[in-house]
């Protein structure tokens, strides 16, 4: 889990270097740097380098998708604020469920289901980001999932074929990376993480298209909800497949 005899120092040292690089590249604000180091450091300390690698992998994918075609998305009114720089609230919204699962992973003695659920939370976050960013950029027709009404790009909860395919791919890639680093040890658990992530992001689109839900929770609240739902779907699917 660790490469030195000083796990806490290692965890926050590695996370700080990663966060500083992200700040210098303009993908996070100063608050995002601080929040990311805090959350990422504890995830590393609780669940080891494999868990932090999954977090870092998600962050790289999410940042790249946010920056992709930023000017065009800004013109459409579908771009992230502050030139795509993520703040502390974004880090907490996307990582709070993962942080809780990192603690469960440690307390359970590195139980494979806890590791899989951890990966599923970031597969969900990646699927949501990919669906939103790629969908608003490349989607030809955007619909509300609740009534199939055509809406402009960037509308809360709107989906497109292109965005859905990007969401599916992102969930697959992050789940596969989790399998590669050893947090997802079987095919059944990989399927649970992959489908859980995709379904969690899809459920958020449905809920996000309901004005009262979106207004009550806000963007960060919806991100927190979708990672929770992704983990819930993951655990249900894992139970149905018997983890095989």
Count the domains in the chain: 1
Residue 173 falls inside a structural domain = yes
Confidence bin at 235 (pLDDT 50/70/90): very high
Domain hosting 175: range is 7-241
pLDDT, tens only, 1-30: 788 888 999 999 999 999 999 999 988 999
pLDDT, tens only, 147-200: 888 888 777 778 889 999 999 999 999 999 999 999 999 999 999 999 999 999
Residue 30 falls inside a structural domain = yes
Mean pLDDT, range 76-96, rounded to an integer? 77
Residue 2 falls inside a structural domain = no
Residue 152 falls inside a structural domain = yes
**Whole-angstrom Cα distance, residue 144 to residue 165?**
16
Residue 34 falls inside a structural domain = yes
Residue 137 falls inside a structural domain = yes
Angle at 89 between CA 57 and CA 201, to 5 degrees: 55
Whole-model pTM: value is: 0.92
**Helix residue spans in 68-111 (DSSP H):** 70-76, 88-107
DSSP 8-state secondary structure symbol assigned to residue 100: H
């Amino acid at each position: 889990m660790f490469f030195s005899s000083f796990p806490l120092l290692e965890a926050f040292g590695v996370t700080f270097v990663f966060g500083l690089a992200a700040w210098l590249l303009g993908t996070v604000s100063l608050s995002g740097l601080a929040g990311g180091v805090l959350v990422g450091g504890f995830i590393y300390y609780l669940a080891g380098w494999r868990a932090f690698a999954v977090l870092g992998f998600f962050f790289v994918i999410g940042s790249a998708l946010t920056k992709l075609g930023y000017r065009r998305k800004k013109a459409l009114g579908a771009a992230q604020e502050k030139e795509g720089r993520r703040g502390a609230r974004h880090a907490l919204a996307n990582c709070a469920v993962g942080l809780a699962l990192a603690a469960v992973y440690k307390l359970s003695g590195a139980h494979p289901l806890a590791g899989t659920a951890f990966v599923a939370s970031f597969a969900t976050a990646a699927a949501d980001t990919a669906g939103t960013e790629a969908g608003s950029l490349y989607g030809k027709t955007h619909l509300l999932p609740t009534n199939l009404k055509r809406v402009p790009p960037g509308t809360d909860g709107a989906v497109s074929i292109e965005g859905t395919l990007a969401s599916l791919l992102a969930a697959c890639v992050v789940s596969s990376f989790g399998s590669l680093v050893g947090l997802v040890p079987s095919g059944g658990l990989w399927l649970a993480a992959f489908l859980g992530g995709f379904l969690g992001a899809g459920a958020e689109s449905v809920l996000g298209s309901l004005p009262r839900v979106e207004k009550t929770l806000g963007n960060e609240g919806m991100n927190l909800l979708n990672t929770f739902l992704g983990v819930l779907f993951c655990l249900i699917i894992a139970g149905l497949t018997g983890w095989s």
